[in-house]
Each structure stands twice: as C-alpha cells, then as structure tokens.
Chain A
Amino acid sequence: MRRAADGALPLIAFVASMALLIGLLALLGYDASVILTALWEGSMGSPSALSTSLGQAVPIILTAAAFWLTVSAGVFNIGMDGQLQLGGLATLLVAFALVGVLPALLVIVVGVAAGALAGALWSALAGVPKITRGTNEIVSTLMLNFVAFVIVGEMMRGALQSETNRLTPQTDKIDESLHITSTIGGAQFSWGIVIAIAFTVALLGIVLMTSLGLRLRAIGLNAEAARHAAIPIPRYWHGVFLCAGALSGIAGALVILGLRFHIAPGWAPLWGFQGVLVTFLALRRPWLIPLWGVLFGMLAAAGPALKGSASVPDSIVTVMITLPVIVLYLLYALQREPLSWLPRLRAAGPSRAAEAQDG
C-alpha cells in the first residue's frame, strides 16, 4: 500500500503541478485549451515533433543516469553539462579528423568513445581532489561546467569556426555519413535514444542487481558501515566519477551525431540539470529514469510551440519541469511527518510555562 503510494507520488506531483501551472496561466488570461494543444502538438503532434522529443530525451536520460550513479554512491557530481559539452567537442574533432580515413561506423564508435573519455577525464578532474583531499565535489563539478563552456565556446569561435559560414560563430557540420539517424514519416529519428536507454538499463542492472552494485550502494547508504565492511571506498568513488563522466560525455557524443551535427550557440541547453530533476523524480523508482527522461524531452520539445502558438513566456517551460520536484518533496515531507508542527507546539508548551513562572 505504502510502496504503491511511493511509486505514484512523483506522478501525482507532476500532474498536480501541471494542473496548478495551467490553472494559474488561465487566471492570467491565457487560453488553457491553446496551451494544452501546443503541448501536444509540440511534443507528439507530428513525426518531427516526436523526433525532437526523443532527441532531447537522449542527453536528459544519460545525464540523469550519471547523476543517479553518483548519488547512489553518496557523492554529488553535478558537472554533467560541462562533461557533456566536452564529450560533444571530442566527438566532433574525431568526426572531422577521421571521416574518410576509417569506415563511417568505426568513426562513430571512435567518436562516442572519445566523447566518453573526454567526459570521464573532466569528471576525474573534480573526483581526484575530492577523493584524495576531501574537496567539495558539488562546488568543483559545478564550477568546472563553466570552464568547459568557455573551452567549447572558444573552440567554436576560434579553431573550429566554420569557413563556409563566417557570419555566426559555429562549427562545420559533421559528414552526413556519420549521422546516426533514420528517416521515418519524413522526420529524422536519432538512434541515440536506443543507445541512451541501453546504457541506462545496463547501468541500472549493474548497480541494482550485482554484488558490485550492492557495495556501491552500501557506500551511499552508510559510508562508515561500508568502510567497516572493508569496502575500499576511494576505489569505488574513482570508478563512479569516471563512469558518470563517461555517460555525460556519451550524451554529448550522441547529441552531435544524432541531433545537432555541429556546435553552435545554444546547442546544448542545461540538460544536465534536467537530468538532476529526473533523478529526484525517479529516486525511489530508478528503473523509470528513461520514462521520465522522455517526458522531460517532450516538455523541452514543446517549448517553442508554447512560446509560438500559445504566446506563453519561455520561462514557463522551466517552471513546468522544476515545479514537480518541489511539489514532490513537499509530498515526501508530509508523508514522513504529517503536520509535525502540531506536536512541536505541544512540546514547546512546558518550557514556555516555566519561563512564565520565572518571569
């Protein structure tokens, strides 16, 4: 009973916050039916809308998996966005360097591996000082994001600036032979979604179902107990930082190969933070990470339609994806101690009486 409620709470939170938001917009004079139509049309209304939804879901699912992995082991790597962008950059460089040299499929594989490697190294840059010197990984991974953004931005404007299109800062596109897309119903669908879900399911399987994962989660649940069970925590944490970075790097690789094909301003919105939100929504049901990822991808895809046909401000989409998490944690808090302020007031009673006596 309680377990069932546990699983349904995120969904309840999601639906409730959507209803709340649309209700508020209706009060402000927007037409609720137009908003709902735009949400539908933008995310699933056409093959191209659906392909955008799934394409956006790829980096969200993979960064959510990366974040979930670190949280399971008791560390908080929130540097997915920087790792993703550097992964994408590495893939792009491999694509430019090796196209025509190696068969296309091999270039794709090497490109994805390069993306994984770049993400892993960037993650280790925060992980090694955390593990050996105890620096705060939340701060270092967050800050390294901005360093990565600058590196990618400078490469885009400098060494990799497109020769054929010098008007705006952007890189050349990768060769079409390297696109991991198939045309269905007139829209290009990225195979990235299949790869992302495969990696995520494999990760979930390892962490939730093997003895390696059992030790890993023991560290996250009680690091001291894990230490006293002779689990070599530093070794596990190094592995976690590398794997999480690699997953984010792969996300960047798949974005380049299946969605964007080049680097241009705004090519990678903060998917990593959406991954964090997905992780929180799926924390008690981690197998649902891919589904939540797709849902968030749909919201991201519907953004332009909302702005266009419903004339709703941009920022509403941001509110749409963050509000469910806030509502969910309110629900968890209520579930844990329903209206705990009542007994607390009562406990405060005697000491107040004592004060009155003394005064």
Chain B
Amino acid sequence: MPEVRHDRAASRVLTAEAITKRFGHVEANNDVSFSLRSAEVHALLGQNGAGKSTLVGILSGSVVPDGGRVCVDGEAIALGSPQASNDAGIATVYQDLVLVPTMTGLENIALALRRAPNAATRDEIAASAAEFELPVNINTPVGALGLPERQRIELLRALCQRPAFLLLDEPTSLLPPLMVETFLGKVRELADRQLAVLLITHRLDEARLIADRVTILRDGQVVAEFDRDALPPNEDVARLIVGQDVAASAAEHHAREHTVLAVADLVVSTDGRAVVNGVSLGVKAGEIVGIAGVDGNGQRELMEAIAGLRAIESGTVAVEGNQIQGQSYADCWSAGVQFVSEDRRREGIVPTYSIAEHFSITPGRFEPAKVRAILERYDVRPPDPKFRADQLSGGNQQKMLMARACEAGARVLLVAYPTQGLDVQATVRIRDILIEQAASGIGIVVTSSDLDELLAISQRVVVMSRGQLVGAQHHGAFDKRELAEWIIRGPGGFAHATPDLART
C-alpha cells in the first residue's frame, strides 16, 4: 500500500442529494443523488447530453442547481461558489483544457494556487510532480507542449491544490489511444493514494478498466449504479446508457440508385492530428445517412470538409460525379452542397439582420417576394421576411436556416445536430422537413449524438469514432445495442491487451 499522504483524506465522502437543474425546458439533472468516497474511482457514464458535465459543474461550483444539496462529510456546502467547492477539497479538470497557452506550466499552476511564480512555488510544484510521478516541463509555454503533457500539467495543477476529491470531466477524449491507458493507470494510482476520483467518460471500457463503482446517467437521471464486481456485460450497460425504446422509423425508403455524394479516403487534420482519418462514404439521392457517435470524434470536421468550410489533407469529394474538394464553400454552395450548423447563434444568425436579409446574403439571390412563401411552407413563425432573425425562437431560426439551405438548390444537405436545443414541436417539424427533402431527391447527411433521432429518420446509420467510420447498419436491420457498443468501444477498443489496473 502506498503511504497515505493526505492528512485530511482519512476517509471523506462527497455526496450530491436530489440535485435538479433545468436549462430552459431541458432537464439536465433530475433528482440526481450520488456519492464519491476516498480511495475510489467512481465512473460516471452517459451519452452526450445525459447531464454528466452539468453534475460536475454543480459539484465544482460553476453551475448553480435549481434544487438539492451538495455535502462534504455530511455538511452542506454553499452552492454555485467555486471558492466554496475548492475550500471543501474539490478540484476539477475540465473537459476543455483551461490552461493559458502563452504561460508556462509554472505560471499556470501559480495562477490557480494564487501564488507568485517564484522559486519556492517552483520547488513545491516539482515536489508534487515527483510525488505523483507526473513528469512535466513547467518552464515552457503550455501552448508549445503536446496534448498529453498539457493534460498532465492540468492534472498537476488540480493536485497541487491538495484536493480530497478530484473531478475529471472526460479526460481521455483528447488523448490518442495509447496515451489513454497510461493516463488511466495514473488515475488508478491516485485513488490508491486515498484520493476520491470521479471519472466522467462515455467509454465503457475505460470504466471497466479502473473504476470501483459505475453510475449511469440518462436524460438527467441516474438509471443504475453498480459496484465493480456487479457490472453487467457490455451490451446490457450499453442498453442502459442509450435507453431501451427504439422509436419506429418514420423514414420510408426513398433512396434511389443514383449517387449524389461520394466521399473517398478523406483525411482532415488539425494541429497535426488526423481528426478525420480516411473516411469513405456514398450517399444516394433520397437517402438520409445518420452519423452516430460521441461528440468530437470528427463528425463536425467531416461535414465541414465536405462543404468546403475546412481544408482537406487528402481524399476526394464528388457531387453528382463532379469533384469539388478544395473549393470554397461559395463554390460548393453553387454545386448544390449546403451545410446547416447546430450553432445557430454563432454560425447562422447575423445580429440585427432581417429574415429576408439572411436569404439575400447567400449566393442564391432569393427574390424577396418568394421568401414569404418559403417561410410559410417551412412553418417559420412569424412568416414575415422583415422580422429580425435574432428575435426568432431557436426552433424558428433552425427552420429558417434549413429553408435557406434546402431552397438554394441543394443536392446534398449536411445537417449537424438538427434538433439540438429545440422543443418537441420544433423537433418534429425539423425531422419532417428532413424526410420531405429526402423524398424530393436530395441526399442528406445528419450527425447527432441522439441515437433515437438518427434511427427515426435515417435509411442508414454509420458510427464514427476517433475520425473513422467503424460500422454501418441499414433501415430494417437497426440494432441499437450493437450501435451503442460500436459508439462506446471505438475502433478496435484498446490497442493492447491491458492487465486489469483496478485493485492492484
């Protein structure tokens, strides 16, 4: 047994009691109760949008819950105060790394500790780094370091605060597969040093590897909690994560023989990392292809690359047989490729511009007289071309942007998270629009992290993981459990057979 270093850490417990948090009409957390004890790794599993990050935010004080309590050793702490959480011994490593890239590791850590970046602090950090066996370079601006090292600094920064509870929000999502194992080994070691570790992940294999307990969240609720030894087989866990009910598909088979979009061996890189790694995909006229997967596995980049919004490293994209790779979005638009982003505020709406102006800034040159008819057809409320688009509801903004794309002579329509943040009514309308458009002969590619949505509208669902397509299923032979397994396992699971890291 490693010696117990944290004097406070004798045996402490962090509990969340009946936590409730709503964002608009979305219940991010609904009566969530949960506990985290010293010397354990507690894995929190769930799909995107299951409420994992919200729960972490509440525990760390960055999100104010609507109801419930957070207690440390039985005593309630102030909610919505990062300072209070910090003082209670909670440290968090967030999903998006939050280091200042132009500062060195020393400066970043000193900043978090509210200390001067002097020799004393440097020695202390070096001592902690040695103690936790985290080899880091703290003298180079972190922006110049590789991701794994940046992550080690982030971890060290949390550990230097001497926490009793360490919250890790999807720490492995940015790491290459081989590094994931090393990182998880380190996490296991920390728990063996009496630290309480909460590991947020959507990868079941990671939880299986190091977790003592596993809690599964779905739609903001705790649906199951297992001790390590009681963890059921992968397929049963997958079913718990995605839910049992497979919605009957409303999509009919409109697919024709004629291929409108042909993507071959597409590679897209950012910062030297292949985020899309050799994707080939064909879409027929009238077909809706759903791309399933956990966010950040290259779906977004794939779509942007097809539309000419992102540089392609290699591979080809052909629309109606004409190669369009390397062209600008304006040219792709004219070739019949339209992309609708899920981030309507940031990437769709021009502040102060009217609906009609949103149509007329595209290369399509919509006649103002036609815009009203289009708005009525797509059920945009109000169907007034002079209405300011930034004052429309999210659902109506989405309908407007879909209308703009579809009516621009689309041959291939790319839609990211078509119903994200929309209410039920708007969701139904948007799905209807997609199905209608497919029926009219357009080829459609939809990404979503909501598997039910994809199954409801797609003729084919492919799973994307770490930049690759790892499997496909056709309408009529959808097997949600298999899809969910593909999603959480990724391409081939871990590269090497790994010794069981838990309970060494």
Give A residues with C-beta under 8 Å from B.
211, 214-215, 218, 221-222, 224-232, 350-351, 353-355, 357-358
Contacts and interface: CB of A to CB of B under 8 A. Distances in A.
Given A351-B78, A354-B81, A358-B87, A225 B330 contact: no
Nearest to A357: B78
19 contacts: A211-B361, A211-B365, A214-B360, A218-B350, A221-B353, A222-B350, A225-B347, A226-B350, A227-B329, A228-B329, A228-B339, A229-B361, A230-B333, A232-B328, A232-B330, A350-B80, A354-B78, A355-B83, A355-B84
Contacts of A214: 353, 357, 360-361
B20 to A, nearest CB: 19
A350 B79 CA distance: 9
B360 A211 contact: yes
Contact of A350 (B78, B328, B332, B360): B78
Contacts of B357: 214, 218
B361 A218 contact: yes
B348 A230 contact: no
B361 A354 contact: no
B83 A231 contact: no
Contacts of A353: 78
B362 A222 contact: no
B146 to A, nearest CB: 23
Contact of B352 (A211, A215, A221, A224): A221
Interface string B75-115: 00110110110011000000000000000000000000000
Given A354-B78, A354-B83, A355-B83, A222 B351 contact: yes
B349 A222 contact: yes
Sort chain B's interface into a size bin.
20 to 34
Contacts, number: 77
Contacts of B333: 230
Most chain B CB inside 10 Å of its own CB: which residue of A218, A227, A350, A353: A218
Interface of B: 77-78, 80-81, 83-84, 87-88, 309, 328-330, 332-333, 339, 341, 346-353, 357-358, 360-363, 365, 404
Closest 3 CB pairs between A and B? Answer: A354-B78, A230-B333, A351-B81
B360 A230 contact: no
Contact of A358 (B84, B350, B360, B404): B84
Nearest to B356: A214
Contacts of B352: 221
A131 to B, nearest CB: 13
Q: Is the interface of A mostly helix, strand, loop or mixed?
A: helix
A358 B85 CA distance: 11
Contacts of A229: 350, 358, 361-362, 404
B489 to A, nearest CB: 33
Nearest to A354: B78
A228 B347 contact: yes
A355 B404 CA distance: 52
A226 B347 CA distance: 8
Given A214-B360, A218-B353, A228-B339, A354 B330 contact: no
A231 B81 contact: no
B232 to A, nearest CB: 41
B309 A228 contact: yes
Given A214-B361, A215-B361, A229-B361, A224 B347 contact: yes
Given A354-B83, A358-B84, A358-B87, A230 B330 contact: yes
A202 to B, nearest CB: 21
A251 to B, nearest CB: 30
Contacts of A222: 346, 349-351
A231 B365 CA distance: 12
